[in-house]
Structure 1
Amino acid sequence: MIKGLYEAHLPVKDLTRSIEFYEKIGLELASESEKVVFFWIEKEKSWLGLWKTDKVNTPYHPSLRHIAFQVDLDDIRKAKHWLMDRGIEVREEFGIPPKEPIILLNKPHTHAAIYFHDPDGNSLELITPLQIDDANVNVDNKSYLSEWKEKE
């Protein structure tokens, strides 16, 4: 029945500033009104709604105000420089300095991810699956992508 995630929503303070930011990370504006804009994540498959609201002051928690965008392995390897070229600072997550994408080990799954904020402090993540449903994951949690070795 369920095939994927179609939409997610975040609160923002300034729609103009947010439009500039999300276009900078490559999302295409899908629709715009006075209080909400939508960006295609994957055209006709998934989108992100940004709502102008005072709820932007709601304290961050991983269950609130967080979006993870899936990217492929080659792109996650370039993600830090790609973001920095756009004036976007990557940030520490889980106490690991942001020198490169980090490994997220949720056995039996392993992902690589890098984190950053939008202008309103919403938590954004670029993530790629490395090993799914594999009890033989070959890294420790809290390590870097460069330490991960693909299965041979």
Structure 2
Amino acid sequence: MIKGLYEAHLPVSHLENSISFYRNLGLELAYQQDKLAFFWIVKEESWLGLWVSDKVELPYHPSIRHIAFRVEKEDIILAKNWLNEKGIGIRTSFGFDEYHQPLILPNNPHAHAAIYFDDPDGNSIELITPIRLDFPEDFKMMTLEEWLKREE
């Protein structure tokens, strides 16, 4: 029945700033009105809606104002440099500063690599990829660099 996520929505304060930011991430603008824009995440498969709203003032919580974009394993290794080249700062997450990201999340029994940053309105944006699924070992959060050394 369910095949994936079709859309997600975030509040923004200034639509043109947000449009520039998400274009900078490589997303294609699909539709725009006065206070609304949709970007294709995967064309004709999934999209992100940006709405000009005072809800942008709600404090961040993982259940709101957050979106995670899935990337390939090879890309997560390059993500920090890719974001830096675009002038996008990496946010400290789970006690790991920008120098210690990407990090490995122990979403037991799975392992995911992720890196975190904010859009212009402080919405939480994550790039994430599964590293190992059905991984029986219980482990603690670590940097991707530590994980790769461990896998050698």
| Fold shared per TM-score above 0.5 | yes
Where is the helix percentage greater, Structure 1 or Structure 2?
A: 2
Alignment of 1:58-137 (within 5 A): 58-99=58-99, 100-136=101-137
Q: How much identity, in percent, do the aligned residues show?
A: 59
Matching residue of 1:11: 11
Give me the TM-score of the superposition, normalised by structure 2: 0.94
Shift of 1:142: 2.3
Pairs aligned (count)? 150
- Unaligned runs of 5+ residues in structure 1 are none
Q: Which residue of 2 aligns with 1:28?
A: 28
State the AA in 2 paired with 1:148.
Answer: W
Q: Relative to structure 1, is the Cα distance of residues 88 and 72 closer, same or farther in structure 2, using a 3 angstrom cutoff?
A: same
How large is the Cα RMSD of the aligned pairs?
1.4
**Unaligned stretches of 5+ residues in structure 2:** none
Q: CA deviation at 1:151?
A: 6.2
CA distance in 2, matches of 1:65, 1:112: 20
Q: 1:57-84 deviations in whole A, cap 9, x for unaligned?
A: 0111000000000001111000011001
Alignment partners' CA distance in 1, 2:121 and 2:97: 22
- TM-score if structure 1 supplies the norm length? 0.94
Structure 2 counterparts to residues 134-149 of structure 1, below 5 A: 134-136=135-137, 140-149=139-148
Distance in 2 of aligned mates of 1:117 and 1:20? 14
Give, as a single letter, the amino acid of the residue that structure 2 aligns with 1:108: P
SS at structure 1 position matched to 2:95: coil
Return the letter of the residue paired with 1:96: F
Question: Could you tell which deviates more after superposition, 96-105 or 49-58?
Answer: 96-105
The alpha-carbon distance between structure 1 residues 151 and 87, as it changes in their structure 2 partners (threshold 3 A), is closer
Query: 2:117 corresponds to which letter in structure 1?
Result: F
Q: Which amino acid aligns with 1:38?
A: F
The residue type equivalent to 2:95 in the other structure is G
